């Protein structure tokens, strides 16, 4: 049954996209580990970690596109779910340090020893086990999204008001995690990781394995999103996006649909954050910054809202541009470049890169003349 759903959801374009991701997931580690460092085809461990980070951002963008592009829910606080998944992974990695920390305490992380914590807080229990940490990576962001969505959607908060309260949520979490007495490292966050599943997190083979895992997670997330949007459930989501009041009038429980897809999206963002942390080596409260969530929305807008592949492409392109512009004399002007890019895309490419390509491709394939079909409309902006 599941195989049938997947086969119906994936067209030739989707299979080509997945094949490209699979090739990247295999080729990059091979060029890093097998090809000699003297070869021009060798890829450094820095490159592997950098593009592994881009893949994590692509999963986050995919989760935003699922709710914004297909259900009209513009979340400006999805960075909160990304950061919560990252903290869950960071807590597991901190518990693996043990006596190798600066203070050599077998149980307490270094920052707790420094702050004179008498014992490990109860919410840190269990994170020495990877299975428990993996469960919390999904459970914590999913629970927060479910509770938040339950109150927001039942109260019929929509449009800009929903966007504002999602931003307020992530800002409140950022302020809380900055406090030392919150038990998550305060301003410094969690860092100095040693091992993951018994392997040195800094070793090139481990970095290559994390890259491959990120690629597989992106592929799985893409397939899940394709199955969702191609199903009858996905058709209802699009109806909610285009005419929520009319969909409710037809008898659909709009709140239930929005709550389910919002929770699924939050879990995907949590997985992205969890894969991000061991590759960058740190997680701190700045990941909750509302600016990060807004930037993730820009990735989706640039690539093409409501296209899935566009969200992935937008995340990679914008973050590559960010790396390029912030590594030299242009670093002080990056925010101007990002703002200008968003304005340019909004005015010149309202469908995004991939959405514009799809639109012109459909126009080219459709017959000309009076009997021509009405062109497909672009996804409406979230009201």
Task: Place 369 in a pLDDT band, splitting at 50, 70 and 90.
Answer: low
Separation between Cα atoms, residue 89 and residue 196, nearest integer Å: 10
Q: Encode pLDDT of 231-247 as tens digits.
A: 999 999 999 999 999 99
191: helix, strand or coil? strand
Separation between Cα atoms, residue 271 and residue 140, nearest integer Å: 11
- Using an 8 Å Cβ cutoff, are 199 and 205 in contact? yes
Separation between Cα atoms, residue 86 and residue 190, nearest integer Å: 10
Q: Encode pLDDT of 298-308 as tens digits.
A: 999 999 999 99
Residue the block writes with tokens 């639109």: 359
Task: Place 382 in a pLDDT band, splitting at 50, 70 and 90.
Answer: very low
Mean predicted confidence (pLDDT) in 107-131: 93
Distance of alpha carbon 35 from the chain centroid: 31
pLDDT at 365: 73
Identify which of 52, 355, 62 has the alpha carbon closest to the alpha carbon of residue 226.
62
Distance of alpha carbon 212 from the chain centroid: 16
Separation between Cα atoms, residue 113 and residue 253, nearest integer Å: 51
Sign of CA dihedral 305, 239, 231, 151: positive
Q: Environment class of residue 245 by beta-carbon count within 10 Å: exposed (0-12), middle (13-18) or buried (19+)?
A: exposed
Identify which of 383, 344, 362, 364 has the alpha carbon closest to the alpha carbon of residue 307.
362
Give domain limits for the chain. 2-365
Q: Encode pLDDT of 162-187 as tens digits.
A: 999 999 999 999 999 999 889 999 99
Separation between Cα atoms, residue 141 and residue 270, nearest integer Å: 6
In the chain, % of residues over pLDDT 90:
75
126: helix, strand or coil? coil
Mean pLDDT of the chain: 90
- First-last CA distance in the chain: 37
Identify which of 276, 286, 295, 103 has the alpha carbon closest to the alpha carbon of residue 184.
286
Question: 283 - beta bridge partners?
Answer: 190
Whether 378 has a pLDDT exceeding 70, the answer reads no
- Using an 8 Å Cβ cutoff, are 141 and 89 in contact? no
Residue 203 tokens, joined: 């070793």
Residue 122, CA atoms < 13 Å, CB-side half-sphere: 0
Q: Which of 159-173, 312-326, 360-374 has the lowest mean pLDDT?
A: 360-374
Whether 45 has a pLDDT exceeding 60, the answer reads yes
Task: Place 381 in a pLDDT band, splitting at 50, 70 and 90.
Answer: very low
């Amino acid at each position: 049954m599941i195989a049938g759903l997947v086969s119906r959801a994936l067209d030739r374009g989707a299979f080509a996209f997945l094949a490209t991701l699979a090739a990247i997931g295999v080729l990059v580690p091979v060029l890093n580990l097998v090809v000699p460092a003297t070869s021009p085809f060798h890829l450094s461990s820095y490159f592997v970690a950098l593009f592994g980070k881009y893949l994590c951002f692509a999963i986050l963008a995919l989760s935003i596109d699922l709710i914004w592009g297909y259900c009209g829910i513009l979340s400006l606080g999805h960075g909160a779910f990304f950061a919560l998944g990252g903290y869950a992974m960071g807590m597991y990695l901190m518990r693996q340090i043990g006596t190798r920390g600066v203070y050599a305490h077998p149980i307490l992380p270094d920052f707790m020893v420094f702050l004179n914590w008498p014992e490990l807080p109860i919410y840190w229990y269990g994170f020495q086990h990877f299975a428990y940490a993996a469960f919390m990576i999904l459970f914590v962001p999913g629970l927060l999204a479910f509770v938040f969505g339950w109150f927001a959607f039942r109260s019929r908060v929509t449009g800009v008001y929903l966007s504002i309260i999602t931003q307020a949520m992530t800002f409140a979490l950022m302020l809380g995690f900055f406090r030392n007495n919150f038990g998550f490292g305060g301003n410094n966050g969690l860092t100095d990781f040693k091992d993951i599943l018994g392997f040195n997190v800094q070793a090139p083979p481990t970095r290559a394995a994390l890259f491959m895992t990120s690629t597989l997670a992106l592929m799985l997330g893409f397939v899940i999103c394709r199955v969702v949007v191609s199903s009858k459930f996905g058709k209802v989501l699009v109806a909610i996006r285009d005419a929520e009041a009319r969909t409710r009038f037809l008898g659909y429980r709009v709140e239930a649909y929005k709550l389910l897809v919002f929770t699924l999206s939050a879990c995907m963002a949590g997985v992205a954050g969890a894969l991000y942390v061991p590759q960058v080596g740190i997680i701190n409260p700045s990941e909750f910054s509302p600016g990060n969530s807004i930037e993730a929305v820009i990735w989706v807008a640039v690539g093409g809202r409501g296209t899935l592949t566009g969200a992935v492409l937008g995340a990679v392109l914008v973050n590559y541009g960010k790396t390029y512009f912030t590594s030299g004399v242009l670093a002080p002007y990056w925010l101007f470049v990002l703002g200008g890019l968003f304005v340019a895309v909004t005015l010149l490419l309202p469908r995004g890169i991939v959405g514009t390509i799809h639109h012109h491709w459909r126009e080219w394939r459709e017959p000309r003349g009076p009997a021509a079909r009405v062109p497909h409309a672009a996804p409406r902006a979230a009201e």
